[in-house]
Chain A
Amino acid sequence: KNQVEQSPQSLIILEGKNCTLQCNYTVSPFSNLRWYKQDTGRGPVSLTIMTFSENTKSNGRYTATLDADTKQSSLHITASQLSDSASYICVVSAPNAGNMLTFGGGTRLMVKP
């Protein structure tokens, strides 16, 4: 069964600090891996999307990395802001599943002043 595991489940950091969220997946082969940010009670918003041939992709203070050999991805947040408090979800899609997505359980990040 295709799975996407994220760690940690939750994280508290101080404003201005950096943090790294982890994602391990067993989906194989896979088309692409996405990181979404979801504020409480809102829909997920895409941060980055990478195919298997891409190693890193940045979006402002967010940088995602991908190691297709080890099936691991990370999302690094630089100089965190209070507005970064949200759930971050790693999502993988497989070429044999059309547009179907496999969601990770998410990491709930809280940034404190």
Chain B
Amino acid sequence: DTEVTQTPKHLVMGMTNKKSLKCEQHMGHRAMYWYKQKAKKPPELMFVYSYEKLSINESVPSRFSPECPNSSLLNLHLHALQPEDSALYLCASSPPGGESSYNEQFFGPGTRLTVL
């Protein structure tokens, strides 16, 4: 298995709903990432998990709550979102290695989120 999968592909939710995005990889990668991408803009990093521990939170509002249950799974729990949170949410993973290693991030297909 050489890919990052994300579910669902599309999600429409109201501002009072609670939903979750799921990301999975079985490549043995130990770093996993959540990005948010608005139309015609590059991805913006939200969270980084390294060895199942949250290592970076790019000042993301608390209505976004990440979770890494194990080395293959990454979730993003959503609650009380705003319409401006509508975007493509990308998950990525990268293999273990040092800071100067030839690491590459492998991206999933994304979840298209619409907040009404």
Q: Is the CB of B100 within 8 A of A34?
A: no
Total CB contacts across the A-B interface at under 8 A: 55
Provide the A98-109 mask, 1 if CB < 8 A to any CB of B, else 0.
111101111010
- Which residue of A has the minimal Cβ distance to B109? A43
B42, B92, B101: most-surrounded residue (chain A CB, <10 A): B42
- CB pair B107–A43 under 8 Å, yes or no, is yes
CB atoms of B40 and A99 under 8 A apart: no
Interface size on A, residues (CB 8 A): 26
* Interface contacts beyond A43-B109, A98-B99: sample of 17 additional A-B pairs, CB < 8 Å, sorted by A: A31-B99, A31-B101, A34-B104, A36-B107, A41-B88, A41-B112, A42-B110, A43-B6, A43-B90, A43-B107, A93-B103, A95-B100, A99-B99, A99-B103, A100-B45, A101-B45, A106-B42
Residues of A with Cβ closer than 8 Å to B? 31-32, 34, 36, 41-46, 49, 51, 89, 93, 95-101, 103-106, 108
